[in-house]
Amino acid sequence: MGERAGLHPAYIGQIERGSKKISIETLRKLAQALSLRMGDLLNESPPPPSEGWESKIGGLLRDNSQDDRELIYNTLRHLAKGIRRRRR
């Protein structure tokens, strides 16, 4: 990639490791070498879909009575505290 961008391979390595800050011109060269827009190199990856553990746990809470939701929440809270203590 360094060759395509007209940049020394060692410089590319320093950029990848975060030990060098780059100029707008270098960003332009890298984007061109990768056939991307400069903004594509700056954008962070999108957040993961909400179908993770939080959503699954939320489903457990939604699908139960108020008393059962409180019991589930307290059980999970105590379980999480125990896990954190065990990791120390």
Domain total in the chain: 2
User: Are 35 and 58 contained in the same domain?
Assistant: no
What are the distances in angstroms from CA 9 to CA 1, 18, 23, 54, 70?
8, 14, 16, 43, 58
Rounded to an integer, the average pLDDT of 52-71 is: 83
pLDDT single digits (tens) 7-31: 999 999 898 888 988 999 999 999 9
Domain-located, residue 16: yes
Q: What is the extent of the structural domain holding 23?
A: 2-42
pTM for the full predicted model? 0.48
pLDDT beyond 80 at 48: no
For residue 29, give the nearest of 4, 59, 57 by alpha carbon: 4
Give pLDDT, residue 36. 87
Contact at 8 Å (CB) between 6 and 31?
no
48 falls within a domain: no
The answer to whether residue 47 sits within a structural domain is: no
| Band (50; pLDDT cuts 50, 70, 90) | low
Considering the domain boundaries, does residue 11 fall inside one? yes
